[in-house]
Amino acid sequence: MRDGEMIAACSVAGSDSGGGAGIQADLKTFVALGIWGLTVVTAVTAQNTREVRGTWMLPPDAVRAQMEAVADDFFIGAWKTGMLGNAPIIRAVAGALPEGAALVIDPVMVSTSGHRLLAEDAVRDLADLLIPRAAVVTPNIPEAEVLSGMRVTTVEEMAEAGRRILDLGARAVVVKGGHLAGGAAIDLLVDREGEMRLSGERYPYPVHGSGCCFSAALTACLARGMPMREGFRAARKFIDTAIREAAGGPGPVRAVNPGGTIFRRL
């Protein structure tokens, strides 16, 4: 990095019109962590915390052009993928991603409200083209089940699923345990050195955008040069605050709040 150059991270993801997930949540997270946020929009969605009303995928050439534009002008410490949508976009991202890039993959497959965000026939392209280049993959339980090909109902099964995803070529996997029953929310990192478990409070309300926020926080940590396990710990602490300070609306689902208490003070 040149003297005085900003630390940047790039989110390759869909736009959430409700601001709670996708590139909007990623940018809020980057700002909160002192990172210059870049975006590559893969899709436009019409959604709020309750539902996804429509999705419109961008042409793969438009995705590639955005990636090339930001890569040509910024020092990008880490890249993050979220909603990729279909196989042609995955191929475009794989083709435009710089060699050796620090890549965080949030394998977004289904929205909080149950709307499918990744075509079923695109999972193989994700596994073959992007996961082998990932510094870390951050699936929730349903996503881990798809990628590992196994049911996950316990922390021990989370670890086995993580090892199976690791075998796809990623350098690390964080399996997020929020979907498991229990008093604490346990997240599990699996890498070539073994396992690292972190637990946090389970809050009594559903939250929209927590997966995006966590993976963006981990991306910011890696962009700053943190080792993976240190970044995992810092990102886990960050998302706990963002969920605790989640923004409530008229519906039952709250929106993750990467700004923490900032908005409460304004």
What digits encode the pLDDT tens for the residues 57-74? 999 999 999 999 999 999
The CA–CA distances, whole Å, from 202 to 11, 103, 190, 232, 266 equal: 27, 28, 22, 18, 27
In terms of Cβ atoms closer than 10 Å to its own Cβ (0-12, 13-18, 19+), residue 216 is buried
Strand, helix or coil at 33?
Answer: coil
Residues 97 and 84 sit within 8 Å (Cβ to Cβ): no
Measured N-to-C along each axis, helices 22-32 and 228-244 cross at an angle, to the nearest 10 degrees, of 110
Q: What is the pLDDT of residue 16?
A: 95
The whole-number pLDDT of residue 266 equals 37
Give residue 244's region: left, alpha or beta (phi > 0; psi -120 to 50): alpha
- CA 147-193-152 angle, to 5 degrees, is 30
How far apart CA 205 and CA 252 sit, in angstroms, is 7
Residue ranges of the chain with per-residue pLDDT less than 70: 1-4, 112-113, 183, 261-266
Backbone angles phi, psi at 107, to 5 degrees: -80, 70
> Can you tell me the distance from the alpha carbon of 77 to that of 84, in angstroms, rounded to the nearest whole number?
21
Q: How many CB atoms lie within 10 A of CB 235?
A: 29
CA angle 199, 144, 84 (to 5 degrees): 110
> Does the predicted model carry a pTM greater than 0.95?
no
Give the DSSP letter string of 86-141. Answer: SHHHHHHHHHHSPTT--EEE----B-TTS-B-B-GGGHHHIIIIIGGG-SEE--BH
Q: Tens of pLDDT along 213-222?
A: 999 999 999 9
Residue 191 CA: distances (Å) to CA of 72, 146, 158, 186: 32, 19, 13, 16
Q: What integer pLDDT is reported at residue 182 of this predicted model?
A: 72
What's the confidence (pLDDT) of residue 265? 42
Per the CB < 8 A criterion, the answer to whether 26 and 39 are in contact is yes
Q: What does the alpha-carbon distance between residue 238 and residue 32 come to, in Å, rounded to a whole number?
A: 10
